[in-house]
Amino acid sequence: MKYNYLIYILLVLITVIILYLYVNTYLENYKNNNNRNSNKISNKYELGKIIYKGNKTSVYEINKIKDISKINKKIINKDINNIDTTKKFLYKKAHTILQTPIKDQVNINNDFKYSPKIIDYGDDYYVIERYDSSLKELIFDNKFDKNMSIKLLNMLRSYNEYKYNIHDLHLNNIVWSNQKKEFGIIDWDIVFNNKYIIDNKLNDIDFLKKIIYNKCKTIKDHQKDKYFNLFKSIYNQQISSKEIINTIKHLEKTENLKPKT
């Protein structure tokens, strides 16, 4: 009787191991196939590596535009044949129904003066100009200084008066263009009608404080003072590069911020 029980236990263990190996192999094959086939999502674009993957959306580099005739040349105002698409555009794919439909995102994005322009879209994707850095990257690379902070505030004053605002304004969806020498805003996935307009006649520091406390809704209240003091110190040139990076690292750790392109 004891011998039969041991055989039963052994068979159960073997079955569990076989199931584990099967599931693990299946998941690994699925992952590999998904990576290999990522460039087959679109008939118009040859996609490259994934630079961001989330539950709702993914962002790909574009290796090649297959069908140039479909691109809105009026938006980019350049010879598309001579553009290095890998460096100039990104392909954003939706995996689920988004709160703001793609077509509405395109209109809202392209109507805002400072947003990178969307040059093509479909029911579940759009193709957008690729800016060079996020605000977070500029800070970590010691490139964000007073001159840039003034340009940032100029953009935010325009954003303040725009009819739509995004729900999660943060360091990763504020982006910088080296060519245009200006900031922009991306990711209009969750938007709302802008019913609170800050007085644009406020001085830069007071305006900045209002922006952080009233427009950055996903930053926790107890962290807003730290963000404000950081940007105020950068604006007033009263903080070292080391202090800036240490402050951002601390905020990133406590806020659990993740890169988003």
Mean pLDDT to the nearest integer, 127-156: 94
Give the pLDDT confidence score for residue 20 in this predicted structure: 81
Give the pLDDT confidence score for residue 113 in this predicted structure: 94
For the chain, give every domain's residue range. Answer: 1-36, 41-129, 133-255
Tell me which of 230 and 252 has the higher pLDDT. Answer: 230
Contact 104, 157 (CB under 8 A): no
Contact 251, 126 (CB under 8 A): no
- The model's pLDDT over 51-101, given as tens digits with 9 standing for 90+, comes to 989 889 999 999 888 766 666 655 555 555 555 555 689 999 999 889 999
State the chain's mean pLDDT as an integer.
84
Q: Which of 7, 245, 54 is nearest to 136 (CA)?
A: 245
Q: Which residues contact 198 (CB under 8 A, 6 or more apart)?
A: 160, 207, 210, 211, 214, 215
Amino acid identity of 120? D
Q: Which range is least confidently modeled, 33-47, 68-82, 171-185, 223-237?
A: 68-82
Pairwise CA distance, residues 50 & 38, whole Å? 8
Pairwise CA distance, residues 66 & 93, whole Å? 17
- The model's pLDDT over 233-259, given as tens digits with 9 standing for 90+, comes to 999 999 998 999 899 888 877 765 444
Give the pLDDT confidence score for residue 35 in this predicted structure: 47
Q: Is the pLDDT of residue 128 over 90?
A: yes
pTM across the whole model: 0.76
Strand partners, 164: 193
- Domain 41-129 maps to which CATH number in 3.90.700, 3.30.200, 1.20.140, 2.60.40? 3.30.200
Contact 91, 42 (CB under 8 A): yes
Q: Which range is least confidently modeled, 40-49, 151-160, 190-199, 230-239?
A: 40-49
- Looking at the domain that runs over 133-255, which CATH code has it been given? 1.10.510
Angle (CA) 140 141 146, round 5°: 90
Q: Which of 133, 39, 141, 136 is nearest to 91 (CA)?
A: 39
Give the pLDDT confidence score for residue 224 in this predicted structure: 93
Pairwise CA distance, residues 109 & 181, whole Å? 19
Mean pLDDT to the nearest integer, 199-208: 97
Alpha helices in 169-215 (DSSP H): 204-215
Angle (CA) 100 98 84, round 5°: 85
Give the pLDDT confidence score for residue 206 in this predicted structure: 97
Q: Which range is least confidently modeled, 7-11, 110-114, 127-131, 151-155?
A: 7-11
